Amino acid sequence: MAVERTLSIIKPDAVAKNVIGKIISRFEDNGLRIAAARMKLLSQKEAEGFYAVHRERPFFNDLVKFMISGPVMIMVLEGENAISQNRNLMGATDPKKADKGTIRADFAESIDANAVHGSDGPDTAATEIAYFFPALDVYTR
Ligand code: GDP
């Protein structure tokens, strides 16, 4: 198994619900470590840049508006198969379709306010981590 890094964002809905700690516990209890963390209110430009791959999607404007509606908790998670492990813990994009016991099933309300973001592959993980964190601020333990 490979030690990987992935980018996780606790989105504004979950931050507003005061469940940052509960979500982080899911990661820590399942073998992932926090290698970097920062709370931030994203600007419109930052959110648009982060979600640039979705620019042509009909939900792009709603997604950006939601992501800048309040502060988010941005983290690098590290561990064995961190990318797929995080995706499994998150559950399906639509919380109504997410498996029982996943973060989205337990903490999210709708497909647009769905509690967490997680990189979907090694290339996006590297790009997304570099978007928010200089290499020197990511700590392997
Ligand atoms: P993820 O990797 O599971 O986060 O899903 P995607 O990469 O497909 O989409 C990115 C984000 O866009 C999702 O987490 C949702 O917040 C949002 N999104 C995706 N599909 C829809 C949709 O049909 N409607 C709305 N409003 N938002 C969506």
| Alpha carbon nearest to ligand 1 atom 4, residue | 117
* Catalytic residue list contains 117: yes
Alpha helices per DSSP H over the chain: 12-16, 20-29, 44-50, 60-67, 82-90, 103-107, 122-132
Give the H or E element holding residue 112: none
Mutate to test the pocket of ligand 1, among 63, 89, 123 (most ligand atoms within 8 A of CB): 63
Residues 84 and 73: their CA atoms lie apart, in Å, by 20
Locate 36 and state its tokens.
């970097």
How do residues 52-61 score in pLDDT, each as one tens digit? 999 999 999 9
- What's the pTM value of the predicted model, to 2 decimals? 0.97
Predicted confidence band of residue 141 (pLDDT cuts 50, 70, 90): confident
> Residue 62 CA: which ligand 1 atom is closest?
26
How do residues 23-60 score in pLDDT, each as one tens digit? 999 999 999 999 999 999 999 999 999 999 999 999 99
How do residues 76-105 score in pLDDT, each as one tens digit? 999 999 999 999 999 999 999 999 999 999
- Residue 133 near residue 9, CB atoms below 8 Å: no
